[in-house]
């Protein structure tokens, strides 16, 4: 007989298998204690050995994109007929439950990103909410439902996104600097809310990854502003003559590697912004082994070009991770 109720777990589609298994286990334990009925009675095998009773419901493990998971959690939690438990990034990163409670209290609701959601309730209601989600598969490509209201190549800024709302008239220095900031912030958006997938090389056989782009562009900023224009001794941080592609090849999914890359990128941007703002003019010059004598004006144009090219790479990398387009 088909139960009148249903239990389901939905995990973020880009989670690695080990993290997905952990999330499902945490939610199963958390939800199990809230269910209105106990597990089934113990059973005995053909040799007379006892086996502990199990939950009577099948437990499908489905997958959804980060945005779909956020919306699903919001909808399920608002439904009074469902018992819903969410497992978020705050919890996943906490070392103890007390750490989680403290970190959660300090995190605004709109900054909480869900890793997985479990729900129990009337079968028809659960089915209606989750029937569009596929079964979780660690190696399956992640895609989002097509949005026919938007063009793939369009910009879909949020209400508070001011990347391209800066003045379109004014000094040459300000216009170039604003456009460079917009390109940097576009890459920042492309690399947001996918911390665990930054190192994913999503277009084989290329070693390109979002983390690799961050490392590469940290070195590019460092080269043009510290080394060439400021004349500092500033060798690359992530590549070398003996490891020329280290910025991409060594971009591994290690939290310490990710943190170091983000920190370096922010530091180099801060130095560059100060240099741009305080330079006597756009005619300030430096010497580069590739282009010879270059001006700050040329470097700004080149940096806009560099980011625009790599933001095209980031478009494909991010879409392969969770289906996000635009931005």
- Pairing status of strand 61-64 against strand 5-12: parallel
- In this predicted model, what pLDDT tens digit does every residue of 249-302 receive, in sequence order? 999 988 899 999 999 999 999 999 999 999 999 999 999 999 999 999 999 999
Q: How far is 217 from 264, CA to CA, in rounded Å?
A: 10
Q: Which residue has the tokens 């006892």?
A: 50
Q: How far apart are CA 292 and CA 223, in angstroms?
A: 14
Taking each helix axis from N to C end, the angle separating 296-322 and 210-221, rounded to the nearest 10 degrees, works out to: 170
Mean pLDDT of 148-159: 58
Share of the chain above pLDDT 90, in %: 50
Q: 132 versus 291: which is more confidently predicted?
A: 291
pLDDT number for residue 155: 59
∠ Cα 135 84 120 (to 5°): 65
Q: What is the CA radius of gyration of the chain?
A: 25
How much is the pLDDT for 5? Answer: 86
How far is residue 241's CA from residue 233's CA, in Å, rounded to a whole number? 16
Which domains occur in the chain, in start order? 5-130 (3.40.1490.10), 172-322 (1.20.120.450)
């Amino acid at each position: 007989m088909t139960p009148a109720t249903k239990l389901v777990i939905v995990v973020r589609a880009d989670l690695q298998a080990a993290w997905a298994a952990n999330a499902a286990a945490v939610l199963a334990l958390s939800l199990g204690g809230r269910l209105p009925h106990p597990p089934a009675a113990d059973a005995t095998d053909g040799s007379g050995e006892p086996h502990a009773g199990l939950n009577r419901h099948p437990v499908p493990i489905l997958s959804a994109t980060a945005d779909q998971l956020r919306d699903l959690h919001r909808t399920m939690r608002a439904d009074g007929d469902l018992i819903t438990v969410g497992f978020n990034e705050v919890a996943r990163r906490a070392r103890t439950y007390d750490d989680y409670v403290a970190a959660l209290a300090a995190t605004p609701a709109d900054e909480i990103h869900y890793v997985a959601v479990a729900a129990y309730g009337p079968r028809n209601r659960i089915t209606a909410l989750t029937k569009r989600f596929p079964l979780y598969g660690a190696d399956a490509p992640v895609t989002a439902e097509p949005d026919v209201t938007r063009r793939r190549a369009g910009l879909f800024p949020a209400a508070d996104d001011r990347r391209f709302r800066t003045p379109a008239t004014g000094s040459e220095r300000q216009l170039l600097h604003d456009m460079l900031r917009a390109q940097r912030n576009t890459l920042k958006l492309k690399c947001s809310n996918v911390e665990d997938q930054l190192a994913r090389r999503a277009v084989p056989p290329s070693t390109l990854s979002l983390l690799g782009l961050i490392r590469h562009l940290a070195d590019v900023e460092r080269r043009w502003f510290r080394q060439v224009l400021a004349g500092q001794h500033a060798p690359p941080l992530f590549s070398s003559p003996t490891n020329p592609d280290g910025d991409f090849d060594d971009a591994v999914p290690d939290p310490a590697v990710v943190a170091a890359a983000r920190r370096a990128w922010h530091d180099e941007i801060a130095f560059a912004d100060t240099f741009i703002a305080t330079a006597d003019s756009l005619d300030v010059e430096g010497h580069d082994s590739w282009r010879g004598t270059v001006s700050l004006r040329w470097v700004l144009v080149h940096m806009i070009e560099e980011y625009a090219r790599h933001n095209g790479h980031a478009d494909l990398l991010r879409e392969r991770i969770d289906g996000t387009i635009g931005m």
